[in-house]
Amino acid sequence: MFYGSVVWDPLLIVSQIVCLQCLYYLTLGLFMWILVGTRVSRLTLVYFFDYSTLTASTITGWCTMSSFLLTALAGAGYMFLLIERAKKCLDFSATLYIIHLFMCLVYGGWPSSFTWWIVNGTGFAIMALLGEWLCIRRELREIPITRLRV
């Protein structure tokens, strides 16, 4: 794909945001199912969007926090595959976490838990920095040039 200053495709950007957000919640659901689903009788959206479930006082809370952080690691890999540009990783990470904050506001109110802010801030940093690092590694690879010998 050609990247330059003249390339501006809003449809591509919106589709990347939607795809990244969907992959984030699918991965979060998978990690929640593995780590939290074995500990609770019923896994609901409360564990995704309610700030009170992110607590360090219970084992279930630690499993929930681990799910969010593991999802941030996976999100960096998704950005490596979908976004492909180091310059865009911070923007897409911020967009993802702002949308998540909005969904938490709608579902459970303003997150007043300090733990929620720490976990999501750490997840944002992991996703943005690791995604940038992965993309930079790809961008700095040498371009193979084959020469014909006559």
What's the rounded mean pLDDT across residues 75-99? 95
Q: What is the model's pLDDT at position 149? A: 66
Give residue-wise pLDDT tens across range 26-82: 999 999 999 999 999 999 999 999 999 999 999 999 999 999 999 999 999 999 999
Average pLDDT score over residue span 89-108:
96
Q: Show the DSSP H helices in 36-140 as ranges.
A: 46-49, 59-82, 86-108, 114-139
Q: Which of 72, 32, 26 is nearest to 50 (CA)?
A: 32
Question: What average pLDDT does range 109-114 have in this prediction?
Answer: 93
pLDDT at position 146, please?
A: 79
Which residues lie below 8 Å from residue 37, measured CB to CB, with a gap of 6+? 43
Question: 130 pLDDT band (50/70/90 cuts)?
Answer: very high
pTM (two decimals): 0.88
